[in-house]
């Protein structure tokens, strides 16, 4: 499953969604997530799902590619749904609603990562929240942390695959045995992963400092600029949220 991780990976494509300003996409995802949590009926959840489906279609990222990377999460969701059905009164309705909500949140945030390069997300966070500097919030550092976190997800997944291959060639078989044996076996992958991640973080910190990170206010090579497409996207985003709120008020 490690081989199939697509979370945090950028998918190169020339599409309407890819060319939008990262601030627009961040705002869009924030409004989508707000809309998902405002929705309390299956109909409004389905409406949100249709909106996300339209975005996926506009992004031209193959649905199969998106779904493949989320398979482990679907397994987790299935377990949660079954527990809801068994343990909670009116559980079938709750199970469907919770599953739909989680799937929507995952799809929305995954679409942001697939259509936006990590440095664009970081740039968008920094520019969009630049007003918070007046409140002494270290916006630039926070944006860098977000950017590095996104960059590291596929790198660490690749590292995990490499370590797993090395341990498999030493006779490790993660498919054999019960839960306890599998957990014990996973230690041989998790510890080298931690060691490697800490070493990488340390090297990155030194490399950044040696290139004068934190020594002054950095300038931008490509300053962000809104286009007419962004204006159209904002209209769609606000309309979506308005519809969801109206559905909630009208108990639809």
Q: Which of 170, 175, 220, 225 binds other proteins (CB under 8 A)?
A: 170
Q: Which of 188, 213, 224, 243 binds other proteins (CB under 8 A)?
A: 188
Q: Which residue number, 170 or 222, has a Cβ lying nearer to other proteins? A: 170
* Burial label, 157 (beta-carbon count in 10 A; 0-12, 13-18, 19+): buried
191 binds other proteins (CB under 8 A): yes
Q: Which of 141, 173, 202, 209 binds other proteins (CB under 8 A)?
A: 173
Q: Specify the stretch interacting with other proteins by CB under 8 A; choose among 28-36, 166-174, 202-210, 228-236.
A: 166-174
Q: Which of 47, 85, 192, 197 binds other proteins (CB under 8 A)?
A: 192
Q: Which residue number, 37 or 65, has a Cβ lying nearer to other proteins? A: 65
Q: How far is the CB of 203 from other proteins (least distance, A)?
A: 13
CB atoms within 10 A of CB 139: 18
* Burial label, 196 (beta-carbon count in 10 A; 0-12, 13-18, 19+): middle
Number of residues that bind other proteins (CB under 8 A): 26
CB atoms within 10 A of CB 107: 22
Q: How far is the CB of 115 from other proteins (least distance, A)?
A: 14
Q: Which of 34, 117, 196, 224 binds other proteins (CB under 8 A)?
A: 196
The answer to whether residues 115 and 15 touch, using CB atoms and an 8 Å cutoff, is yes
Q: Which residue number, 30 or 193, has a Cβ lying nearer to other proteins? A: 193
163 binds other proteins (CB under 8 A): yes
Residue partners of 79: CB distance under 8 A and separation at least 6 = none
The residue whose two tokens read 């969801």 is 244
- Which of 16, 99, 22, 24 is CA-nearest to residue 55? 16
Contact positions with other proteins (CB under 8 A) in 63-92: 64-65
3-class DSSP state for residue 61?
A: coil
Q: Which of 82, 195, 207, 235 binds other proteins (CB under 8 A)?
A: 195
Q: Which residue number, 134 or 176, has a Cβ lying nearer to other proteins? A: 176
The answer to whether residues 95 and 85 touch, using CB atoms and an 8 Å cutoff, is yes
The answer to whether residues 28 and 233 touch, using CB atoms and an 8 Å cutoff, is yes
The answer to whether residues 204 and 148 touch, using CB atoms and an 8 Å cutoff, is yes
Q: How far is the CB of 197 from other proteins (least distance, A)?
A: 11
Binding site for other proteins (CB under 8 A): 3-4, 6, 11, 62, 64-65, 159, 162-163, 165-173, 187-189, 191-192, 195-196
């Amino acid at each position: 499953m490690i081989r199939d991780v697509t979370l945090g990976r950028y998918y190169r494509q020339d599409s309407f969604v890819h060319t939008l300003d990262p601030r627009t996409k961040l705002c869009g995802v924030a409004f989508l997530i707000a809309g998902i949590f405002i929705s309390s009926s299956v109909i409004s959840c389905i409406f949100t799902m249709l909106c996300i489906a339209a975005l996926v279609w506009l992004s031209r990222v193959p649905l199969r590619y998106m779904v493949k990377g989320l398979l482990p999460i679907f397994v987790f969701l299935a377990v949660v749904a079954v527990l809801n059905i068994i343990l909670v009164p009116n559980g079938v309705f709750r199970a469907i609603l919770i599953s739909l909500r989680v799937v929507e949140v995952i799809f929305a945030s995954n679409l942001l990562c697939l259509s936006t390069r990590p440095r664009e997300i970081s740039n968008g966070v920094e520019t969009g929240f630049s007003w918070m500097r007046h409140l002494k919030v270290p916006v630039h550092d926070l944006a860098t942390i977000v950017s590095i976190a996104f960059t590291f997800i596929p790198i660490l997944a690749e590292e995990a695959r490499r370590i797993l291959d090395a341990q498999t060639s030493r006779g490790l078989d993660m498919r054999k045995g019960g839960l306890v044996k599998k957990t014990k076996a996973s230690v041989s992958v998790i510890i080298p992963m931690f060691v490697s991640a800490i070493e990488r973080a340390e090297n990155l910190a030194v490399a950044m400092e040696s290139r004068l990170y934190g020594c002054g206010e950095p300038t931008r090579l490509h300053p962000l600029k809104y286009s007419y497409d962004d204006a159209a996207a904002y209209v769609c985003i606000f309309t979506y949220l308005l519809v969801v709120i109206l559905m909630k008020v009208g108990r639809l």
